[in-house]
Structure 1
Amino acid sequence: MTAAGAPKLVIVGGGYLGSDLAKSLDAVMDVTLIERASHFTHAPAMIRAMVDPALLDRALIPYDGLLSRGRVIRGEAASVDGGGVTLTDGTRIAGDYIVLATGSANAAPFKSATGDIEGLRADAARWNAALRGASRVLIIGAGAVGTELAGEIAHAHPDKTVTLVASDPALFPGFPAKLGASLAAKLQAMGVKVITGARAASLPGRDQPEGGTVTLSNGAAIEADLIVPAVGSRPLTSVADTLPDVGRAADGRVAVDGYLRPSSLPNVFAAGDIAAAGDAMTIVAISRQKPWLEKTLKSLAGGKRIEGLKPYAPWGEKAPILVPLGPRRGSSYLMVATLGDWVTRMMKGRDLFLTKYNKLLGRA
C-alpha cells in the first residue's frame, strides 16, 4: 500500500504516457488511472496485426497487472477541475494532481475510438480478411502509420499491388531528406508504388473495409480492392475542454504552457497526443514528456514550487524516429544520422517493443 497521506495523482487515459507515468509513480503517490478500455492497445503492433492477426493477443494487453499499489478504474471521464475528475456515471475521484493523457484516434482500425476492445478485435479481423482477398491495396497517407503498413503488406504479401499516396512532395518532410528518400527507395524495391505531392479527392474506408476508385489531385484515378485511410491521428480533447481558459493550437491539440498546463489551474497537466507541447504525436514524444512529468510531480509532492523547476523542453528538430518496413527492412533517424535496415530491425522492426510493453503492464 502507498504510505498514508501520499499525494493523490489522477491520470486520465491509459495510453503510452498514462500507463508509464502511473507505473513510475505507483510507489510514491496514491495513483488512480482512469481508462475506458479493458486493454492497452500497442499501436505499432496493430499495424503489423493487419497482416498477422496472431499478434493481436500480444498487442492488446490487459491493465490488470499494471499497478501494485494504485488502482485502474475502468470508466469515462466527463469533466475535470482543480479538485479531481468526475466520471460519466457521476463517480467523483479526488486528486491533488491531475494529468490528462487521453490520446488520439485513427481512421483505420489501429485503435478504438470508444475503448471497445472486442469491437477492435472484430474490426481487425474484418480488415485482415479484406486484405487477404485484395489484389490491389491503396494506402492514403504516408506518415508513420501509412508507410509502415505499406512495408508490412509488401513484406507479407509480395504478390499484391500496393500504392502509397503522400500529400507532401516527399516522405517524412519534417526530417532530413535522406530519411524520406531512403524509405521511398526501399518501398519501391519491395514493389510499392509511391506517389508524392498528391491528395485524394475522397477518403473511403473510414468506417469499414472497402474498395473503389480514388481520384487524386494530380488527375490520376487509382482503382483498388482495398483502400486504407492513414491520414493521421485526431486528438481526443473533450475532457480537456471542460477546463477553464483552454486554448487550441492550429492542429486541434490543447495549448499548454511551459509546464504542460492547459488551463489556469496550476495542478492540472496535459501531455501526449492531446498537448501542443512542441512534439509530434508519436511514442517518441512520450519518451521525453513522461520523465519530465515524473520528475516534476515528485518535486511538487515534495513541497517544491513549480516556478523553481525547469520547464519542459520538447524534442524539436532532433526527435528520433524508427520506421520499419516489415520485420527486416526500414530506416531510422537517430539524432544526427539516418540509419538503415539493421538498426531499425534490431531496435523496433523485429519485436515492435512488444516485450517492453507487455512487461510494463505486468504480463509475462
Structure 2
Amino acid sequence: MICLNGERIEFEQVVIASGSRYPTLPLAKSMDAHSLNDREAELRQHYAQLKDATEILIIGGGVVGAELAGEIAYTFKDKVVTLVHRDKALLSGFSQKAQRKAHQQLEELGVQIKLNSDYQLCTKTQSYQDKHSTDTLKPDMVLCATGTKPNNAFLQQNFSYILNSKGLIVVNDTLQVVGKENFYALGDIADVGEAKLGYLAVEQGKYLAKSIVRKRQDKSVKAYKRNPFMALVPTGQKTGIVQTPFFTSTCKHLVNIKQKDLFITKTYKAFAK
C-alpha cells in the first residue's frame, strides 16, 4: 500500500474498516475534522447556529433524523422543529409499533411531522418546497439526515471490482473479501448482511480478530453469525423506543441505556484500554 505521503506499507493481511461518511450532515460525521480539538470546534459552531435558529427543518425520518428531532425539541422548547420524511411512516424498516410510538413521542415534544413528502430547496425563493404539494418552509437551519455513503474512494482506482453496486465491499461468510484471500472488511464499508450499527461493527471486529489469529495458526474458522435487527432510538432525553426480535418497548429503563450519554462513556472505556 502506498500512502498519500509516498510511504509504502507492506502487509500479509489487511482489514478494511474505512466506515462511511455523511456528506449532507457533517454534524453526525465530520468531513474535515482530523483531531479532537478540530471536532470540538466544529461541534461548537453547529451548536451556536442551532441556538440562534428559530425554525429548524430536519429532512429524513430515519434513526438519525428522529433522534435529532427529539433531542432538539426537548432541549429547545421555544424552537419550531419540523421533521419531513419521504415514506409513509418514520423509522422505515422498524415494526409498526415502533414507528407509531416514535411518531407519538416526537409529536408530544412539539415536533411537526410531515410524511410522504419530498422537500427540495428552491434557490429563487430560498425556501424548501414539497414536490407533492404546495407547502413551503423557510427554516433558519436545515439538517439533512438522508443517509451515509461508504468511504471507498481509495479503492476505486485499483480495487473497484471488490465493490458492489452500492459501493460496499463484497465479503463471504468469514468477512473475507471475495476474490482477495488476504483482504477482510467489516463495518459500514462492508456488505456483511446486517444492520449498519456501531455495536455490530464492534462484534464483527471481535470475530475477525479471533478468526485471523486462528487462520495464522492453521486452525479452522467458523462463519460469522449475523445478528438479528435490534435498535435503541431515543426521542429526546425522557422517551424513546427499543426494538428487538422479540418485542418493541418504550420502557424507560431500557431506553435510558443509550439515553444517558449515547454510549459515549462505554465507547471511550472500550478504546481507552
> Shared fold (TM-score greater than 0.5)?
yes
Q: 2:181 is matched with which residue?
A: 266
Change (3 A) 1:203 1:270: farther
Measured in 2, the distance between the counterparts of 1:195 and 1:103 equals 31
Look up the equivalent residue of 1:86 and give its one-letter code: I
Q: 1:325 is matched with which residue?
A: 235
Q: Is the 8 A contact 1:321 1:333 kept in 2?
A: yes
Q: Spell out the pairing of 1:224-243 with structure 2 (5 A cutoff).
A: 224-243=139-158
- Cα deviation, residue 99, structure 1: 0.3
Q: Is the 8 A contact 1:200 1:217 kept in 2?
A: yes
Q: Is the 8 A contact 2:122 2:129 kept in 1?
A: no
Measured in 2, the distance between the counterparts of 1:240 and 1:337 equals 40
Measured in 2, the distance between the counterparts of 1:174 and 1:196 equals 15
Measured in 2, the distance between the counterparts of 1:188 and 1:345 equals 18
Measured in 2, the distance between the counterparts of 1:181 and 1:291 equals 35
Question: 1:90 aligned to 2:9?
Answer: no
- Cα deviation, residue 246, structure 1: 2.3
Change (3 A) 1:167 1:249: farther
The runs of 5 or more residues in structure 2 that have no matched partner are: none
1:196-242 alpha-carbon deviations (Å, 9 max, x no partner): 122222399xxxxxx95211222221221111111111110123335
Question: 1:360 aligned to 2:270?
Answer: yes
Change (3 A) 1:203 1:303: farther
Change (3 A) 1:244 1:104: closer
Change (3 A) 1:199 1:288: farther
Question: 1:134 aligned to 2:53?
Answer: yes
SS at match of 2:112: strand
Measured in 2, the distance between the counterparts of 1:160 and 1:312 equals 46
SS at match of 2:121: coil
Q: Once superposed, which parts of structure 1, at least 4 consecutive aligned residues long, lie more than 6 Å away?
A: none
1:8-35 alpha-carbon deviations (Å, 9 max, x no partner): xxxxxxxxxxxxxxxxxxxxxxxxxxxx
- Cα deviation, residue 296, structure 1: 1.2
SS at match of 1:137: strand
Question: 1:311 aligned to 2:223?
Answer: yes
Q: Spell out the pairing of 1:140-155 with structure 2 (5 A cutoff).
A: 140-155=59-74
1:256 to 171, 175, 193: 171
Range with greater deviation from structure 2 (232-241 or 137-146): 232-241
Q: Is the 8 A contact 2:129 2:137 kept in 1?
A: yes
Change (3 A) 1:160 1:341: farther
Greater strand share, structure number: 1
- Cα deviation, residue 95, structure 1: 2.4
Measured in 2, the distance between the counterparts of 1:224 and 1:341 equals 34
The runs of 5 or more residues in structure 1 that have no matched partner are: 1-84, 205-210
Q: 2:100 is matched with which residue?
A: 181
Q: Is the 8 A contact 1:138 1:224 kept in 2?
A: yes
Identity of aligned residues (%): 28
1:242-284 alpha-carbon deviations (Å, 9 max, x no partner): 5546243343322222232334221111111111111232214
Q: Is the 8 A contact 1:246 1:263 kept in 2?
A: no
Question: 1:216 aligned to 2:126?
Answer: no
1:86-127 alpha-carbon deviations (Å, 9 max, x no partner): 211122223222100001111222222245334433332222
1:339 to 230, 240, 249: 249
- Root-mean-square deviation (Å): 2.3
Q: 1:299 is matched with which residue?
A: 214
Measured in 1, the distance between the counterparts of 2:42 and 2:166 equals 28
Q: 2:192 is matched with which residue?
A: 277
Measured in 1, the distance between the counterparts of 2:122 and 2:21 equals 16
Q: Which TM-score applies when normalising by structure 1?
A: 0.68
